[in-house]
Amino acid sequence: MVCEGFLPLAKAASVGLGMPNLPVARVIGHPGVQSKEQLRKNALEVTLQQVIDNLLKPPQAVKGDSEPGPRDVVVKGGFDEVNDYFYRNELSDGLPIVPPTVEKVERFLRFTDRDPDESLGSLLPDSRAATIWSIAVNGVMAGCRPEYMPVLVALIEAMADHGYGVEHSGNTPGGETLIVVNGPIIRQLGFNYTQGVMRDGFMPNTAIGRFWRLYLRNVAGFLPHKNDKATFGNTWRVVVAENEDVARKIGWPTTSADFGFGPEDSTVMISRHTGGNHISSVSGATAADLMPYICDALVRQYSWQIMFTVGQGMGTLRPQLLLSPIIAETIAGSGWSKADLRRHLFEHARLPAHQFERILRDWTQKPTWNLKEEHEAGRIPEVFHVSDDPNRMVPLVWKPEDILITVTGDLARNSIYIFAHNGVLGFPTAKRIVLPKRWEELLSRK
């Protein structure tokens, strides 16, 4: 049974699941804005009969669309003709693409030791193989340089990781993926990691960010008005590179170290967020001065997303903070480690228990909302029910380590950026960037 606004999406998803003729019963309107009487009337008068018909009548045969082979030439012509073809066939993001000629694709393949036909996994919703060849094709289209190929491969390994949840990339809130890069690759490829770190204009940050969304479109299969059901949506995010110089200077582990990697490793970390906010003028000479503003700002980013703390994806909320270097240095200057900062945020960025429950119960209508019941059933930690006081303060996450912190941005600005996480529907996933054996030689010849 599918709400009528989702019928085109259901049809598209059925094809990807290998059941293009899957019968569907229409639900009038949207249940979330109907009275119980309206919902019952619509269900009895329309939906019920369709359910019966779908159970008793064989579905009509439907022939699936055929796709070209990975090396087939799909269009010939000049730049305009190629771009017109790609746009008409929903293979571009609406911006001009670099035509992925075989010659250009093969240049990318020189920067990986992987077999071009190797698959890194099958990506939903279209159940299409994520091959090394297709990574190179979309890298060319996005305007990447061939030497970015190891980063692109690591990103698609992360995308194909079951823990990340790529199948939710087109969910209603329209969350977009944040990519954080760490390690020697930052300098080797010229990533921007200072002023304007999330602004387009730097080729690796920009082109690799665009590649992510193109790959979701062309291989995973997330197309607007089809498998992408974002209510409003966002566009792709520019890749964020961490300022590891500052992190080392203040003695804080980098984002990649938080995921268990060493300083010699180049890595990518992906996580999906429904939005974010730039917090300006975070002023104070000590960590104690800064923290009330930061804690308040963190709490204000979260509403319905706390369902990933209690409810769907239990305990999978992972707030992400970007700290400008001067803020990180001020906090560290007070003798605080990164772990100290996390602990303080965990203990002070909190909501009253009654408000936490009301957001879930009344405003997002989630069946899981009673903190006492969930704790007594052993499903959430004790910190959420230390007493029956409705005004007790409860945290956003289960433990301090659930808060992600990255140092980056303008060296002289006292700002932070806070992302609202999409929980299990885009869980943080990190992968090591594997370089080809002849990496240094290839870089010197590019």
Distance (Å, whole) CA 218 – CA 104 = 18
Stretch 174-187: mean pLDDT, rounded? 97
User: Which pLDDT score is estimated for 8?
Assistant: 76
Least trusted range by pLDDT, from 58-72, 195-209, 308-322, 345-359: 58-72
User: Residue 273 phi/psi, 5° resolution?
Assistant: -130, 145
User: Which pLDDT score is estimated for 11?
Assistant: 76
What would the pLDDT profile of 310-332 be if each residue is shown by its tens digit? Answer: 998 999 999 999 999 999 999 99
Distance (Å, whole) CA 104 – CA 141 = 10
Stretch 289-304: mean pLDDT, rounded? 97
* pTM, entire model: 0.92
Q: Report whether pLDDT(15) > 80.
A: no
User: Which pLDDT score is estimated for 290?
Assistant: 97
**Which distant-in-sequence residues (6+ apart) come within 8 Å of 114 by Cβ?**
132, 153
Distance (Å, whole) CA 252 – CA 339 = 9
**Which distant-in-sequence residues (6+ apart) come within 8 Å of 80 by Cβ?**
none
Domain residue ranges in the chain: 2-56, 79-349+396-445
User: Which pLDDT score is estimated for 58?
Assistant: 84
Stretch 183-211: mean pLDDT, rounded? 98
User: Which pLDDT score is estimated for 42?
Assistant: 85
Stretch 279-286: mean pLDDT, rounded? 95
Q: Report whether pLDDT(102) > 90.
A: yes
| Distance between first and last Cα of the chain | 54
Residues in the chain: 446
| Residue 421, SS3 per DSSP | strand
329 compared with 172, residue with greater pLDDT: 329
Confidence of residue 107 (pLDDT cuts 50, 70, 90): very high
* Percent of the chain clearing pLDDT 70 (strictly above): 99
Q: Report whether pLDDT(391) > 80.
A: yes
Stretch 55-62: mean pLDDT, rounded? 83
Q: For helices 132-142 and 102-109, give the axis angle rounded to 10 degrees.
A: 110
User: Which pLDDT score is estimated for 116?
Assistant: 97
What would the pLDDT profile of 69-90 be if each residue is shown by its tens digit? Answer: 888 999 999 999 999 999 999 9
Confidence of residue 289 (pLDDT cuts 50, 70, 90): very high
Confidence of residue 64 (pLDDT cuts 50, 70, 90): low
User: Which pLDDT score is estimated for 49?
Assistant: 87
Q: Report whether pLDDT(16) > 80.
A: no
**Which distant-in-sequence residues (6+ apart) come within 8 Å of 210 by Cβ?**
93, 95, 142, 143, 236
Q: Report whether pLDDT(61) > 80.
A: no
Distance (Å, whole) CA 429 – CA 92 = 26
User: Which pLDDT score is estimated for 329?
Assistant: 98
> Interior CA angle at 290 toward 287 and 295, to 5°?
110
**Secondary structure (DSSP) of 19-69:** -TT---PEEPS-GGGS-HHHHHHHIIIIIHHHHHHHHHSPPPP-PPPP---
Contact (Cβ atoms closer than 8 angstroms) between residue 28 and residue 46: yes
